[in-house]
A and B are shown apart, each in its own frame.
Chain A
Amino acid sequence: DAGITQSPRHKVTETGTPVTLRCHQTENHRYMYWYRQDPGHGLRLIHYSYGVKDTDKGEVSDGYSVSRSKTEDFLLTLESATSSQTSVYFCAISGGGLNTEAFFGQGTRLTVV
């Protein structure tokens, strides 16, 4: 299995509070991604990173920010959580270049009450 660890695995938080999810990899892959999974929508890209301090927005980035200060860590922050951000969040990594695949973490189930 690809070395990807997401933390926490489960979290319940209140509306309006900030939340940070962590993704840690041991594969030294260049690219890291955050997706959210919701019924009827599949997985949608929130943000991604193509190197340390290099990040860009995905399809559903509103209300989220990210940071990558080290190759191995990619943080996703909900500045002020809302109920619409209740979801399962997946981190993924890939080596980039041609003929590569993305490996996924086990997911973080976030509930905003």
Chain B
Amino acid sequence: AQSVTQLGSHVSVSEGALVLLRCNYSSSVPPYLFWYVQYPNQGLQLLLKYTSAATLVKGINGFEAEFKKSETSFHLTKPSAHMSDAAEYFCAVSPYTGGGNKLTFGTGTQLKVEL
């Protein structure tokens, strides 16, 4: 069984400030971990993924995440927020089985970026 917890359903930052979105996972097998972004009225777009290679993963749009097994965490960060980063962000986990990519999602974090 696997699950994902995203702390904070809404996060607000100032433009230029650090973005930190939290994700903790629970998995009975080595996990794949993902961050997706969703802009209004659109589908989900992959930001980055962890697949047991490097623990620090760099993604698109300046985002990165670090896999910490001891803390069962995969927090998403960006050094400097931009207005265009305002969106909803989802953390997801998938079992490392090779049998497709059945994702279990967190409940999402809505990021607001203020001037």
Partners in one complex: yes
| Docked CA distance A58–B92 (Å) | 15
B44–A99 contact, CB under 8 A?
A: no
- Size of the B side of the interface (Cβ < 8 Å), in residues, is 24
Given contacts A90-B43, A104-B43, contact A42 B108 (CB under 8 A): yes
A41 is an interface residue with CB less than 8 A from chain B: yes
B101–A90 contact, CB under 8 A?
A: no
Given contacts A50-B99, A94-B100, A97-B98, contact A42 B106 (CB under 8 A): yes
Give 1 or 0 for each of A29-56: 1 = CB within 8 Å of chain B CB: 0110101000011111100101000000
**Closest Cβ of chain A: how far from B13's Cβ, in Å?**
21
Q: Return the chain A residue nearest B94 by Cβ.
A: A102
B46 is an interface residue with CB less than 8 A from chain A: yes
A98–B101 contact, CB under 8 A?
A: no
Given contacts A101-B49, A104-B43, A105-B43, contact A43 B101 (CB under 8 A): no
List B contacts of A3 (CB < 8 A): none
List B contacts of A107 (CB < 8 A): 41-43
Q: Tell me the residues in window 69-102 of chain A with beta carbons closer than 8 Å to chain B beta carbons.
A: 90, 92, 94, 96-102
| Docked CA distance A102–B45 (Å) | 9
| Docked CA distance A98–B34 (Å) | 14
**Closest Cβ of chain B: how far from A53's Cβ, in Å?**
16
**Closest Cβ of chain A: how far from B106's Cβ, in Å?**
6
B residues whose Cβ falls under 8 Å from a Cβ of A: 9, 34, 36, 41-46, 49, 51, 90, 92, 98-108
Contacts A48-B102, A101-B49 supplied; 11 other A-B pairs, CB < 8 Å: A30-B100, A31-B100, A42-B106, A42-B107, A43-B105, A45-B103, A97-B98, A104-B43, A105-B43, A106-B42, A107-B42
CB pairs A–B below 8 angstroms (25 shown): A30-B100, A31-B100, A31-B101, A33-B100, A33-B101, A40-B9, A40-B107, A41-B107, A42-B105, A42-B108, A43-B44, A43-B105, A44-B105, A48-B100, A59-B104, A90-B44, A94-B101, A96-B99, A97-B98, A101-B46, A102-B46, A104-B43, A104-B44, A105-B43, A107-B41
